[in-house]
Amino acid sequence: MCPRSHRAASAIDGTDMTITYIGGGSRQWAPKFVRDMALSELDGEVRLYDANYEGAALNARFGNWVQDEHETSGEWTYEAVDALDAALEGADAVITSTQFDPTETFVHDIDIPQKYGIHGPVAATIGPGGIFRAMRTIPLYREFAAAIREHCPDAWVFNFTNPVHFVTRALYDEYPDINAVGLCHEVMGTRSYLASLASEQLDMEATREDITCNVKGINHFTWIDEARCQGVDLWPLFEDFVDAEEANRVFEPAALEDESVFVDNQQVTWELFRRFGIFPAAGDRHLVEYATWFLNGSDADLERWGITYTGSDYRSKHWTPAESEQTTDVTAWLEGDREFELESSEEVFADMLEALAGGESFTTNVNMPNVGQVSDLEDGAVVETNALVRENEIRPLAAGGFPRQVRSLITTHVDTIETIVEAARTDDVDEAFAGFLLDPQVRTLQTERARELFAELVAAEERYLTDWDLDGSAVLSESSAYDSSH
């Protein structure tokens, strides 16, 4: 089957573009977006919409300050808008980048499963935490998709919200004709790693842009079966390097004490390549939540692979401005307390918009429904492959299939995602629990124990699950964990 391209009814005008940013009060991604648009070759207006209107207004002030006080190639005006319908009306492009308060949600996604012996290093895209993040988020994104259908049906929609595969799939489930892609930089990180590997091992001067590869899989569980650097085949390098000392390191927990939670030592990457002959294209801390052997045993059994945990204390502090270690601080920049530099985030969103508006076409990794680009995964499931982006078109590129063993790993997660999305159509908590049971992290538990974990997470996050039929759930009614909370 030839993958179907996505085309809008009319081309974007790069000199007069309207972008709606849902989640425009973001403290991290919105400031990056402002800088990228200032450095783009595009002009227009940005409407920032957020449940936290004050945050959106601050980012609007910041965006206009960047335009007024700095030398920019793109000319943009920013406005905070307090109504979703008004923000979307006639938009050419829509960004979605949202999350609920982590101190009331994310910390539970991490801490409660730990009581049941499930220790997720990230807990944001799969596993108990990722599933509950999806259950909180999918109903809201159905509302966003319905509003897009009404107010800007031909807009290009770029979803950055995790879990990307669940959320992007929900947008299409609500509005099948939506022109949406899910974006993630994990594959770009792998390309940067391969560029450094080629530079070190093959004496090449390489950057991420020099790496081309055939990408396929699902978000945070993507794989590569072809890779080149400046036209040079890297597979012989992989086959040699997998036996090298650098690809066979063993870490002591003490060696990770001062490391960032985002450290990536690529040891899981090389172990999976060693076992399956295909190269993973996501960070190790994500890979282990999909290929769950590495989570079995003690914390030290995971840390020996050079991975550390992102704990709930980090997630909580990251959300609290006074304690946050974020590199973006809009207020400090505006008040002159911190030096501001206008530099690119190295994300590809602006490049995609430029190509859609008639600029230079290029290829990048995107998450879109499977219409043949991955030959042996379910049609309609959101998969991640390369796509050609050019004037008024995003065309996913055929990537082929997988070795049987890797396909089996991926299919399990696709079934989990599809089950949760289907459950959300009818707010069916019991069907969602059936999807929860499919997850390999949850499979370490007896079904009754899994039910108690599920119910305890529901009880802790109930105010964010009001779209689900909690009262009609047999699973919850059977659980002491849920009953005791009411």
Which residues are designated catalytic?
185
Neighbours of 178 (CB within 10 A): 23
- Which tokens in the block code for residue 208? 């991420």
> Scanning the structure block, which residue is given the tokens 């009814």?
9
Rounded to whole angstroms, the Cα distance separating 448 from 453 reads: 9
Quick one: which of 102, 89, 86, 22 has its CA closest to 55?
Answer: 22
For the record, the structure tokens of 366 come out as 């995107």
Q: How far apart are CA 207 and CA 229, in angstroms?
A: 9
3-state secondary structure of 299: helix
Left, alpha or beta for 180 (phi > 0: left; psi -120 to 50: alpha)? beta
Element (H, E) at 436: helix 429-438
- Identify any residues that bridge with 216 across adjacent strands, giving them in sequence order: 223
Note whether 157 and 10 are within 8 A (CB): no
Residues in the chain: 486
Select from 183, 220, 155 the least CA-distant residue to 367: 183
Roughly how many angstroms between the first and final C-alpha of the chain, as a whole number? 52
State which amino acid sits at residue 246.
Answer: E
H-type helices in 76-232, by residue range? 84-88, 106-115, 127-151, 164-174, 186-201
